[in-house]
Structure 1
Amino acid sequence: MKSTIRNRNDIIKLVNTFYDKVKKDAKIGYFFTEVAHVNWEDHLSKMYDFWDNILFCNGNYTGNPIVKHKELHQKSKMNESHFLQWNLLFDQTVDELFVGEKASEVKKRAANIAMAMMYKTIE
């Protein structure tokens, strides 16, 4: 049964499930597995903090995702379809796992972040 997003444990569940999909995705997975050679323990930890801060305003995220995405774009060009795929997978993951106000909020915030990231990265 789906629940609402209530706390960090729910964020961890969302992030882990989402990135399991991303790693296997034919359109964007290679950015993480072949281009960036992501250290998953480090990346997931940052993403827990990022989304926890987005939804619960706890201030525990530090970092500059724009810089990271620009660096990645220099290694392998990204385009709008990549950001749209990221957002599609994110929304699907949220919808599979959660319902309620926070689920709707995180999807809206993710869409806004993806668009801002896209415009600032591939300009």
Structure 2
Amino acid sequence: MKKDIHNRNDIVKLVDTFYEKIKTDQVIGFLFNEIAQINWENHLPKMYDFWENVLFFTGNFDGNPMQKHKELHNKCPLSRTHFNHWNEVFRKTVDELFVGEKAEEIKMRAKNISDVIMYKTIQ
């Protein structure tokens, strides 16, 4: 039975599951693996902090997602399709793992953050 997102352990589960899909994704996987050349060992803990802060306001994230996406866009132009696909995979991953108020909130916040980054990056 699925439960809601309650703590960092749930965030870790979500982030790990999501990025396991992204690593081999046919639409956007190359952006992470070949273009950005993500070091997953370093990237994943940053994403745990980011999403934990987004959902629980922990204040433990230190980074600039906007700048990172602009740098990526300069290497390989990002498109609305890339952002929409990222959102679809994220939403489906949340729905596979969790149900409840925080699960709905993280999907909404992810979409809003993605929309802002998309607007400011690909305009």
Listed as ranges, the matches of 1:5-24 within 5 Å are 5-24=5-24
- Report deviation, 1:3: 1.0
Q: Within 1, Cα distance between the matches of 2:11 and 2:4? A: 11
Q: Where does residue 41 of structure 1 map in the other structure?
A: 41
Q: Within 2, Cα distance between the matches of 1:22 and 1:4? A: 23
- Give the match's secondary structure for 1:48: helix
Residue type at the aligned position of 2:30? Y
Listed as ranges, the matches of 1:108-123 within 5 Å are 108-123=108-123
Structure 1: give runs of 5+ residues left out of the alignment.
none
Structure 2: give runs of 5+ residues left out of the alignment.
none
- Report deviation, 1:90: 0.2
> What do you get for the CA RMSD once the two structures are aligned?
0.5
Percent identity (aligned): 61
Q: Within 2, Cα distance between the matches of 1:122 and 1:42? A: 26
- Give the match's secondary structure for 1:102: helix
Listed as ranges, the matches of 1:12-91 within 5 Å are 12-91=12-91
Give 4+ residue runs of structure 1 displaced > 2 Å after superposition: none
Q: Within 2, Cα distance between the matches of 1:43 and 1:121? A: 21
Q: How many residues are treated as equivalent by the alignment?
A: 123
Q: Within 2, Cα distance between the matches of 1:66 and 1:94? A: 23
Q: Within 2, Cα distance between the matches of 1:108 and 1:101? A: 11
Q: Within 1, Cα distance between the matches of 2:25 and 2:11? A: 21
- Report deviation, 1:41: 1.1
